[in-house]
Structure formats: C-alpha cells, structure tokens
Structure 1
Amino acid sequence: MTELVVLCGTARDGAERTITRMRELDPDLVVLHHDLHDLARGRVHRRYRHGELDRRTVLELAHGCVSCTIREDVLPTLAALAGTVRRVVLHLDPRLEPEAVCWALGSVLYEADGQEPVLITDLVDLRGVVTVLDPDTWLDDATGDATLPEHGLSALPDDERTVAQLAVGQVEFADVIVTTRSLGPPDTDRTAAVLDRLAPTAPRLLPARADHRLFCDGVPAASRRGVPGGVHDPLLRGTPPLEAASGVRTLLFSARRPFHPDRLHEAIDALLDGVVRARGRIWLATRPDAVLWLESAGGGMRIGHAGEWLDGADPAAWEEAGDERRALAALAWHPRWGDRAQDLVVLCHAADPDAIDAALREALLSDAEIAAGEDAWAALPDPFGWAHDEPCTDPEPVHGDPAGNEREGES
C-alpha cells in the first residue's frame, strides 16, 4: 500500500530543506503541495514533484476555500496515486493545521466515476505528520495573540485564527518534529522544555541529518499517526515530564463539582497570560448535561459544546460512547455527579501554575451554592454561549436558559 506522510509548518526554508532530505532518502518520492496564497481569488497553485518531474499548475476553483481544495484536488490526486507509487508527501500550505486535513483524509468520502465511495485512508497508509519549526521564532508565535492576517498568513478575509493556534496545532499533532537548528537541553532551553511537554512522543530531527524517521518509521507506539483525538480521550499523551524545567510546567486540574459560569469567565484570563496551551473538559452549573471543551493557544481561547455526559443518557448514547469511555466513566463514577468532572491540562511557560489552580478552584461552586440545589444554579448568570471565544466582544452576563443565550459561533 502507498505510504502517505503529511508535512506542515510555517518555516518555509526548513520545510524545503526537509523535502530535499526526504527525496535524497527516497528518490522515487512524490511530493504534492498546494499553495493557498491566491485562494481568495479562487486559485490554488499546485506543485507536483516526482523524480526529475517538477510540474506547476494553477487550479481554478468554483468556490475559493480550503475544503474545496481538498475535495476537488487533494483527494482525487491521492486516490489516483494510491497503489502506483511507494510514498507520497502531502506538503501543506503553512496556513493549514494538519489535524483538520487528516480528519478529511479519514472522514470525507471520495467517489470516482462509476466507483463506490471510499476514504483516502482506505487507499493509502497514513504514516503520520511531520512538522517543521524554527526555534528562533516558534515560542513567540505559540504564545502571542496576533491573528494570521496580521502576520500576512491568511488568504481569506474572514480567517481570524491566531498565529498561536496554528503554531501550537502544528506541533501538538506532530509524530516527528524537524527543527531548523539544534536545541539545548530542556533545563536551559525553554523552547525544548515546551516541546517536551506539548509533543512528548515526537522525535526531534535536523533536516541535514534526518533519517527514515522523516517517513514516520520507528516512531513511538503512542504516536497519533494522523488520527484526530476525541473529547474524552486522555488529555496527556505519552509520558510528558511533570516537573518544572526552564520555568515550564504542566498543571493538571481536576475537580468533581461544577463551575460557577460567571466566576469561571472572570478566571479565564489566568489561562491566557504566560500559557502555551490549555485544553480539557469543563462542566458549568447552568447546564448539567453538557460537556464543554475548552482549548487555548497563546492569547486566544475557544469554549464550545462537545456532547453530553453519560449520566442520565439513554442506552443508545452509552452504546455510541465506545468501550474506553464507558470503562473510564465507570471507574470514576461519582454517586451524585456520575461521570461529570472538570479535567484540564495547562502548559505554562511564564505563569504560576499554583495561581492558575487557585483561580480555577475559586470559580467552582462553594459548599453553600452546592447545597442550594440545581434550581438555584439554573438562575446563575452565564456569559457563555454554546460557542465562546476569548477575548470576547460581549462579556456581559446573561441570565436564564443558557441554550438561548447566543447563536452558535457568537460570543
């Protein structure tokens, strides 16, 4: 079966040096790249390399968007290559996050003329993701609050993702990391300390000396290999260090009582300043059935509805949950709260984890509020809609039914 490796990163020169090294290791390698700088005009610049062949094509899309590019050209091209070559490298535009692309490869059906619809991951062996980064700029990118348009990285006018979201997402999903220069030991190099905790299973290589691990050969068993994670997956992958190094430390926050929505909103700033990444499941007192997913990168955060807790769910929901989630829920089942819990992982690089822990615990319901009961909780001010971004444009609390606070996507 044809092997597929996804290559990403904003370090353009480093990515090209990495591709050069990959082609040295495998002269028959196919490299497919889509440049999206002209996407707003419905144009995508495709480059196809195979041996001595280096062909550049301008694609005209009916609708200028990333999903059109994937659906109308990436999927058909990979399907055509499947079984005809040994290896393909899908070199992503620097603006793209690999998790979304890998999700499409494994979830979007491709239907060739007269053939049954198939997933690309049924035709090729998705070996994993290689991310290329520049240590001189990556940590600043991963901890800032600038948007992609402000850095000239957006091809579409409504793309308000942050550079941090891109930088963190590309590294966190990596099976192999290529750095454009050597890093020092984690106790003297803050970037190395962050990478050890953000992507603990990913080996780090230099382009010129990289070996066949560039093709995701021999990576650890816990590697993602292009498979997106679920909301209820373990929040710590691999075995990242929990002790501090160069001021970098990981906070594990867990609690078995709900958050007061208004106090949590006030505490959110503690998760944005001096934090590389925060992610996890939260439970608000105003919506006892809803699992909310919190995810931050640098100075930006998003909280959104991510499903329902199993406590009180019907048998069909239990069946759909899968064996691992059911087992974990049963092991941690609380006599009153069921599987409801607060579980967050916060990667700090210039923040005090103890202060963050204290701010989050202050945001939990007090004993007196717990005793007041769920009818009282339903009347609490709730500034969160079913999708909420920080910094938010309207922090005023909303009273009443949280499901009617805002339309999805507003904050």
Structure 2
Amino acid sequence: MSTPVVLVAGLHASARTAAVDRLLAEHPGSVAVHHDLRSVTLDRVRRVVRDSSGTLDVADVLLAHGCVTCTVREDLLPQLVRLAATASLLVVDLWDSVEPRSVAEAIDCEEAHDDLRLTSVLTALDAAYLPVDITRGDRLAEIGKPAASGDRRYLAEVLARQLEYATGLVLHGGDEEDTDLSRTVLAHLAPVTPVHRVTGLPHPSGPTLCTAELAERVDPATAQLPCDAQTDEITTVVWHHTRPLHPARLFEAVDELVTQSVRSRGRFWLANRHERMLAWDAVAGVVSVEDAGPWLIALPEAAWDMISPARRTAATLDWNPVRGDRVQHLVFTGPDLDRERIHTLLDSCLLTPQEEQAGPDAWAGYDDPFAPILSLKEAA
C-alpha cells in the first residue's frame, strides 16, 4: 500500500510551517521532510526530518552537479521512499522559493509508484502579505530567498506559479480584512482552486494526482484561464480574438499592458510566426514571451493521436475551418483595470483587413522586435 504524500509550498515561511505543523498534528505517524536552502550560495543544503514531537534527523547534503533542484530531487525521493515504510503520511515542506511543479513531477515517477502516492499540492500564503507580494518586482536574491546561486527569478513570478499550480490554497495570518482581500485576489488569480484556512485543511488521503493533468492546468495551450470578473476594486479582463497580431504594434503596447495590470497570461498568435503558438506570462511589471510549440492546425493529422485529450479539447473550443486553433486569448488582472482601454489597445495591434488579406507570405516579412527575446529563450 503506497503512502500518501502532500507537497506544501509557499514563499511565506510562517504560513507554510503552520500548515505543515497542522498536518503533522492531525495525522498520527506523519513525517515531514524539509530542505533548508538558506546557505545554498555556499553550496550547502540542510535536510531536516521531523514529526509532531520534534526533529528526528538533520543532515547536510552536497549539491549535485552544482544544481539545487537536482540535489533536492535526488535526495528527497530516496528519503521519502525510506520513510514510507513506517509513516502514515509524508509531508514535503518545500523551501520558500521552490516551485512545486518540478518536485511533484519528480515524486510522480514509475520507480516510486509502489511506495508513494502524491495526493495534494498545497500552497500556504500569509494573508497579511499576499496582496502586496503579488505586486512586488523584487528579485529573490535581493530579499535573501534564492533557490540557487545566480537565481534571477522574481518574488511575484514565483508566488504566481506556486498558487496557480496548487490543488489547494491555505491562508494563515493577517486579520479579517487581510483574509477577505486575499480571498478576493485568489478568486481572480486561481478561481477554480479551493481556499482553506490552516484549521480546515483537506484530508490528505485520496487518489494519486496525475502530474500531467496538473501541468495542463497551467501550460499555455491548455491553461484554465480566469474569466471576466469585477470584485470591488479588483478587475479581470479577458481579450479574445481570431485575427493575427502585428509584431511591431504589439511590442509597442507591451509596456502599457504589463504596467496597467498586476498579472496577465495566455496564448497569442503573431502574424509573422504563423505556425507557432506564443505564451504570454507577466506579473508585477515583468513580462515573459516564449514559444509554446506549434498550433494544432500546423501539425500533420497523423500527429494528432499523440496530442493529449486536454489539448485537443482546448483547440476544439477555438476551432475554425480556415485558421484552426490559432487564437488570441490573454487575461489581465489588477486594481481598477480599464477594460475598454485594454481592448482598444490590443485591437489596435491586430492586422488591418488589408494586411490580413495579404496572407502569411507577406506577414513573414514583417519586422519582429520579439525575435531577439524568442531566440534567446530558444538558445537557453
């Protein structure tokens, strides 16, 4: 019988610790494993194993290949398998800036299926800090929370990924007003994810999570994006269109779009990159644009059998006999967003009817300011 495993992530250490403590207290025989990365820039990682009574074991772990992610995965999985023999529940207490997806996928491996059963991915959040932290453009290294030497990620970027990937969100700390505001923020950023207080955590026993399905919830081609919404001062604006975008005009609009909103993401179609889906991901004024692979219409039909049902379903929702699944689907969230202004700005970036009639051969010759960004990411 496999042992259930719960991942608890979160930049807010006090909230995460409170959630882990609660799990240990409520489930006799449970054990938590934590990798402390405070000394990671000195090539040291400390592993701490504990239960409800206190610390059971502390050990220093050498960095594998100079990579913290590899070290945590290669040390964590054997530890979990060893502990599964006697533990009723295993809790993985992730370091502040570790994103849960890579750890979840490492645990969900064939060699550990007989011993481990990943049942929940929780992200613990401090209600007093969440509404502010999701707007902060600080790098992790600037606030002392890097997960590796040379970690260039941003605080808000990691926080967004932690809460959008989770199967459950846990609020701790703050007063009633903080909690209400945090719930409102989360209802916009992760509207389908249940929100709990530390005193009401979901039971960890249950079926094994499929990490492939978890990934499809956040990957650009299949992401469960928020809908248009207005709650007090917080607004979510959805822009959906079926004409291609002019690369130069969109590039000129990027700064205004990312500074007006706190969080935006989605998939889009540049005219000069007719066959490629592009992913938009921005938080706290920092934007990332990446190639997310071919549109389904650009693939030979023989390859469609290898495409996941979720991808085919998402494509079907936007399908057109001529353009296939090519679409503009961007979502923006922030305080008091001007829906009309965002729509007008993005509409102005679309090809004109005359430009659209010229066709893909003409579009291919457009100047593309995104090319250096995309080339850099492809080479990385």
Partner of 2:139: 147
Contact 2:221–2:292 (CA under 8 A) maintained in structure 1: no
SS in 2 for 1:228: helix
Contact 2:318–2:326 (CA under 8 A) maintained in structure 1: no
**Deviation at residue 386 of structure 1 after TM alignment:** 7.5
When residues 407 and 177 of structure 1 are mapped into structure 2, their CA distance, relative to the original with a 3 A threshold, is closer
Partner of 1:227: 214
Which residue identity is paired with 1:203? P
Contact 1:103–1:227 (CA under 8 A) maintained in structure 2: no
Partner of 2:378: 408
Question: Deviations along 1:139-165, whole A, 9 cap, x unmatched?
Answer: 221112111111111153421111101
Question: Deviations along 1:64-107, whole A, 9 cap, x unmatched?
Answer: 3222223320121122233542210000000111123223333x
1:322-333 aligned at under 5 Å gives the runs: 322-330=308-316, 332-333=318-319
Contact 2:62–2:71 (CA under 8 A) maintained in structure 1: no
Partner of 2:98: 96
Aligned-partner Cα distance in 2 for 1:276–1:120: 39
Partner of 1:201: 192
Partner of 1:168: 160
Which residue identity is paired with 2:215? P
Which residue identity is paired with 2:193? A
**Deviation at residue 30 of structure 1 after TM alignment:** 0.7
SS in 1 for 2:264: strand
Partner of 1:399: none
**Deviation at residue 322 of structure 1 after TM alignment:** 2.7
Partner of 1:272: 258
Partner of 1:44: 45
Contact 2:244–2:270 (CA under 8 A) maintained in structure 1: yes
| TM-score, length-scaled by structure 1 | 0.82
Aligned-partner Cα distance in 2 for 1:103–1:241: 28
Contact 1:34–1:92 (CA under 8 A) maintained in structure 2: yes
| Equivalent of residue 191 in structure 1, options 178, 182, 196 | 182
Q: Please, which runs of 5 or more residues in structure 2 have no aligned partner? A: none
Aligned-partner Cα distance in 2 for 1:288–1:359: 22
Aligned-partner Cα distance in 2 for 1:292–1:300: 17
SS in 1 for 2:91: strand
Partner of 1:255: 241
**Deviation at residue 224 of structure 1 after TM alignment:** 8.2
Partner of 1:402: none
**Deviation at residue 316 of structure 1 after TM alignment:** 3.5
Contact 2:8–2:121 (CA under 8 A) maintained in structure 1: yes
Which residue identity is paired with 1:374? P
Question: Deviations along 1:266-291, whole A, 9 cap, x unmatched?
Answer: 11123322423211111111111111
Which residue identity is paired with 1:133? L
Contact 1:185–1:192 (CA under 8 A) maintained in structure 2: no
1:340-355 aligned at under 5 Å gives the runs: 340-355=326-341
Partner of 2:290: 304
Aligned-partner Cα distance in 2 for 1:75–1:345: 37
Aligned-partner Cα distance in 2 for 1:327–1:241: 18
| Equivalent of residue 132 in structure 1, options 117, 124, 129 | 124
Contact 1:131–1:178 (CA under 8 A) maintained in structure 2: yes
Provide the identity percentage: 33
| TM-score, length-scaled by structure 2 | 0.88
Contact 1:262–1:381 (CA under 8 A) maintained in structure 2: yes
SS in 2 for 1:262: helix
Aligned-partner Cα distance in 1 for 2:155–2:212: 24
Partner of 1:4: 5
More helix by share: 2
Contact 1:34–1:91 (CA under 8 A) maintained in structure 2: yes
Q: Which moved more, 1:288-297 or 1:74-83?
A: 74-83
SS in 2 for 1:294: strand
Question: Deviations along 1:356-400, whole A, 9 cap, x unmatched?
Answer: 222111111111111222222111110113855xxxxxxxxxxxx
When residues 362 and 36 of structure 1 are mapped into structure 2, their CA distance, relative to the original with a 3 A threshold, is same
Contact 2:290–2:377 (CA under 8 A) maintained in structure 1: no
Partner of 1:396: none
Partner of 1:394: none
1:1-150 aligned at under 5 Å gives the runs: 1-50=2-51, 52=53, 53-106=55-108, 118-120=110-112, 123-150=115-142
Aligned-partner Cα distance in 1 for 2:34–2:202: 21
Contact 2:280–2:290 (CA under 8 A) maintained in structure 1: yes
Partner of 1:318: 304
Q: Please, which runs of 5 or more residues in structure 1 have no aligned partner? A: 110-117, 389-404
Which residue identity is paired with 1:195? L
When residues 38 and 409 of structure 1 are mapped into structure 2, their CA distance, relative to the original with a 3 A threshold, is farther
**Deviation at residue 312 of structure 1 after TM alignment:** 3.8
